[in-house]
């Protein structure tokens, strides 16, 4: 059975922007470049790349960079995400980035997984982060 998010494929624009971000990654230690693109509820695309530093692992993931760009632009809702890595295996957002994505998206968020050859598969944030803890858990209930 194919879910709605699995039926959606990323746009060529998203994929091209993610590949460009991946090429700009600063990965002198791991040599593993990653790019990410988020689509905000406003329809705009926000790109990010991983940025490592000598105080490894105090770098920044591509998804985190893209979230920062999105928030800086005033957007607070993610409706689609794409992650691309150059390795032979599919990569997914790390645990920390899954939680960061959850801050701005629902479990139904489609996440497109890509490699240097292009689109490979779509999954949902809920499948990567089941039974997630999100902003709704911290809302105060009126007495």
* Residue in the block written with tokens 């998804």: 63
* Torsion sign over Cα 91, 48, 44, 106: positive
- 52, 58, 63, 80: the active-site residue: 63
Tokens for 116, please give them.
Answer: 């240097």
Enumerate residues 6+ apart whose C-beta is below 8 A from 91: 34, 83, 85, 113, 115
39 neighbors 25 (Cβ within 8 angstroms): no
Q: Is 52 a catalytic residue?
A: no
DSSP-assigned letter for residue 51: B
Q: Which residues participate in catalysis according to the annotation? A: 63
């Amino acid at each position: 059975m194919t879910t709605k998010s699995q039926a959606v494929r990323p746009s060529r624009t998203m994929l091209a922007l993610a590949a460009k971000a991946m090429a700009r990654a600063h990965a002198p230690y791991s040599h593993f470049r990653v790019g990410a693109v988020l689509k905000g509820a406003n329809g705009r695309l926000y790109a990010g790349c991983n940025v490592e530093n000598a105080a490894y692992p105090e770098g920044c993931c591509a998804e985190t960079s893209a979230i920062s760009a999105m928030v800086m632009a005033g957007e607070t809702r993610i409706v689609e995400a794409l992650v691309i890595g150059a390795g032979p295996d599919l990569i997914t957002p790390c645990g920390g980035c899954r939680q960061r994505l959850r801050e701005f998206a629902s479990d139904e968020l489609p996440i497109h997984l890509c490699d240097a050859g292009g689109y490979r598969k779509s999954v949902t944030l809920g499948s990567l982060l089941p039974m997630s803890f999100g902003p709704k858990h911290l809302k105060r209930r009126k007495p």
